[in-house]
Amino acid sequence: MQSTNGKKIVVVGAGNVGEAIAYTLMAKAQAEDIVLVDVNQDRAKGAALDIAHGTSFHHQVQVRQAGYEECAGADIIIITAGIARKPGQTRLELAKTNVSIIRSITESIMKYAENPLIIVVSNPADVMTTEVKEFSGLPAHRVIGSGTSLDTARFRYNISTELGVNVKDVQAYIVGEHGDSQVPVWSSAIVGGLPMTEYEEQTGISLDKAAIAEHTKVGGAEVIGLKGATFYGVAMSVSTIVEAITKDEGAILPVAHVLDESFGEWAGVAVSLPCRIGGEGIEKSFRIPMNEEETQAMNHSVEILKGFWRQVKEQ
């Protein structure tokens, strides 16, 4: 087989999200060997074959189904497995359901992998990221939650649509929880190099910021309501994180990891902030400038995450 970049990536969970991630990794030739692991081996094998059959149209990448033993020597392990949130189910109920699954997965990974670099996608993503870090004993910079990376992408898309500009010219972040208490940071938003307020003044456009923030927050639920699940957006989000690692890019992305004591009251749980990501995982986390209202919202978001974590730990 002709080599791409020599990387092996293991995707745990062959549901819609895991399969979409594996497909995206293949199409972008981000690994030489992509392994799907799932308790439903037939589902994982079928997904792997379906993707592998199309490799002749893209890149010579090996895509296959296997067990946790393939975590040995993997460059990146991506966890997507877990029970989907049911109608009427709270995020805390979902967390309590999925935490036992995540513990079992983490134990299986650590049985074979030495100092792995893990990306956590399973929901509730922030709590699950904290659980994987605590249960595995890995350093925080090697357990990365997908966090608000997709929320940020939705935020930028919604802003660009309202302004009629290329989404690449919008720099704005969602931080905090990947969930209802997420924080849109308008005060640091930039469009084409101009602060948002300056852009609005020069163009005469006044954004309905509350409406955009709400549309961003419910974006995932909107897609689920329309088609039953979200998976393409998160696949592209995870692919971007993978690329930052495999190419040692030093890319700055809004992802979650367990913050250390240097973050004061925010420490101890996985929270999303802009982070510089390279070959060894998270190299640096940044305190994005926020106004007083945004700072209060961030404090509230972290407290919610800590409350979830305390209740999940007790079970």
| Known binding-site positions | 13-18, 38, 43, 68, 85, 91, 98, 104, 121-126, 146, 151-154, 230
Pair 255, 146: CB distance under 8 Å: yes
Token code pair at residue 50: 């379906």
* Strand order, beta sheet including 270-278: 62-65, 33-37, 8-12, 76-79, 118-120, 143-145, 251-258, 270-278, 281-285
Q: Please report, in range form, the residues annotated as the binding site for substrate.
A: 85, 91, 123-126, 151-154, 230
DSSP, res 286: -
Task: Write the DSSP string, 192-210.
Answer: TTEEHHHHHHHHT----HH
Q: Please report, in range form, the residues annotated as the binding site for NAD(+).
A: 13-18, 38, 43, 68, 98, 104, 121-123, 146
Distance CA 139, CA 143 (A): 7
Angle between helices 232-246 and 16-27 (to 10 degrees): 50
Catalytic residue among 53, 59, 141, 178: 178
Task: Write the DSSP string, 210-251.
Answer: HHHHHHHHTHHHHHHHHHS---HHHHHHHHHHHHHHHTT--E
Quick check: is 257 catalytic?
no
Distance CA 230, CA 226 (A): 10
Helix (H, G, I), strand (E, B) or coil at 6: coil
- Of the candidates 216, 195, 188, the residue with the CA atom closest to the CA atom of residue 290: 188
Q: Which amino acids are annotated catalytic?
A: 178
